[in-house]
Structure 1
Amino acid sequence: MKTKRSKATDIPMSVKKKVWERDGGCCVVCGNSYNVMPNAHYISRKHGGLGIEQNVVTLCTELTPNKCHRRYDFGTKEEHEEIKKIIRDYLKSKYPNWKEEDLVYRKWG
């Protein structure tokens, strides 16, 4: 049985569909439209990042030369920070009241 935190950080299919539409089916980092998925958390699940559209973006999978999602999760610190800034700026442009603190699971409200 999943915990409340696990459920809150999962990305439901309804959110993936909204993110796919919002991002135009393209990686928000490089613009690629081939082998991309709307399943990358801006704030990671391990840090309590919610599975909501304000915290999820479309990135390239490992099947592309750019591998944006892999570089974001497992690249150098510099790569991660560069991609994080691109994603942050992108999400801020889509949601005027966007704040990082609203994207994290809070056990006690």
Structure 2
Amino acid sequence: MHIVPRARLGMGIEENGVLGCVEHHALMDNGNKGLESEMRELLKARMRFLYPGWTEEKVTYHKWDG
């Protein structure tokens, strides 16, 4: 599952993805049961723990960056 979705230019890199079962993937992609934002915030917190300095900006594609 992408934390920053590919539709919002999220990159396909380790720092932007987590493994999830079919049900959790549906919650993230479809916003089933209104839990998408809560799940996304939990995943962001987890990424900041795993990758100090992690930000959405760092995992979002920018054509003209470096």
Equivalence for 2:28: 72
Counterparts of 1:1-109 in structure 2, within 5 Å, are: 40-61=1-22, 67-76=23-32, 78-109=34-65
Structure showing the higher strand proportion among its residues: 1
Equivalence for 1:5: none
For residues 73 and 81 of structure 1, do their structure 2 counterparts lie closer, same or farther at Cα, with a shift above 3 Å needed? same
Q: Quote the RMSD (CA, aligned, Å).
A: 1.3
Task: Give me the TM-score of the superposition, normalised by structure 1.
Answer: 0.56
Give the % identical residues.
Answer: 34
Task: Give me the TM-score of the superposition, normalised by structure 2.
Answer: 0.89
**Larger RCO (alpha carbons 8 Å, 6+ apart):** 2
**Displacement of 1:78:** 3.1
Unaligned ranges ≥5, structure 2: none
Larger Rg: 1
**Displacement of 1:75:** 2.1
Structure showing the higher helix proportion among its residues: 2
**Displacement of 1:76:** 4.2
